[in-house]
A = this chain, B = another copy of it.
């Protein structure tokens, strides 16, 4: 079923009067040949226009250099940027990535994993939240998750606790009377989800500092309109209840922080001085907003790099004659960075807004 059959080691061998073995060695251990013979073979490769076939190499060696990646979507900047950074590690590690988008469909996700296994991936990176880590662990292949429940598997996560703390600290440092945290997570006690750490970091800081605070958990659908309605409600309630008192608001992601900000600007023609605002993610919208939004940024490049590194370690272990599997999953934590922009730095704000 092959139309123009490709040039093989056999062809090169005939053409050079070497054996296939020697041709193979030319690629995998060139120094074991004399320099002369290397050149002869190099010449032959050029003459015959040889193209390497890594599929055949896989079958013989068992090493695919494939890594599977399962992402919930590419709509959120967090995921697309993470994928970008993961793919970029090809330059350092050489692994090729087979990417699937699950869009929250659990069954599809299981099919994708089966397909990946059939292609003999050497490792798997999971960013989706649907399949429990217990089940992932049973795949018994090198695996790393990112920002999701990770009890039974290796993972890399942002230090969300620290992130919540940083946000609260920033707002408090500007003399806010009362701090609010707006989040759409419905079960703040599900400690398995790393993002919940933000809430606890925020709360613990406030408690320790004796800072007045309030948590606003609002159920919202995952649509812009729903977000907008919820934020409008919250804004209404806040102004009614707290008037001109200085309010520090920490919203659990930049998209929603931006919606809140836009409501303010549309209402007042500017951002009033009694509102301070911090988002989370450092997604592009936080910079592109009408007033650049202060935010807690995840170091996506670092997370991706650590995730792949952690995976590579496991994959290298697998290649040994007698692999020693990890007894305990490894969990890496990446520190977030605080980006102070105009929604908290009133000095900056006043200077450019008029």
Interface residues of chain A, those whose CB is within 8 Å of chain B, are: 1-3, 51-56, 58-59, 61-64, 73-75, 80-81, 83-84, 87-88, 90-91, 96-101, 103, 108, 115, 117-120, 224, 255, 258-259, 261-262, 265-267, 269-270, 284-285, 287-291, 318-319, 321-323, 352-354
Contacts and interface: CB of A to CB of B under 8 A. Distances in A.
22 contacts: A1-B62, A3-B318, A3-B323, A53-B120, A54-B120, A59-B59, A73-B84, A74-B80, A74-B83, A75-B81, A80-B83, A87-B100, A88-B101, A90-B100, A97-B98, A99-B99, A255-B288, A258-B288, A261-B290, A265-B265, A269-B270, A284-B285
B266 A353 contact: yes
Nearest to A103: B88
Contacts of A354: 266-267
Nearest to A116: B96
Nearest to A1: B62
A87 B62 contact: no
Contact of A84 (B98, B101, B115): B101
Contacts of A288: 224, 255, 258-259, 262, 285
| Max chain B C-beta neighbours (<10 A), residue from A87, A91, A103 | A87
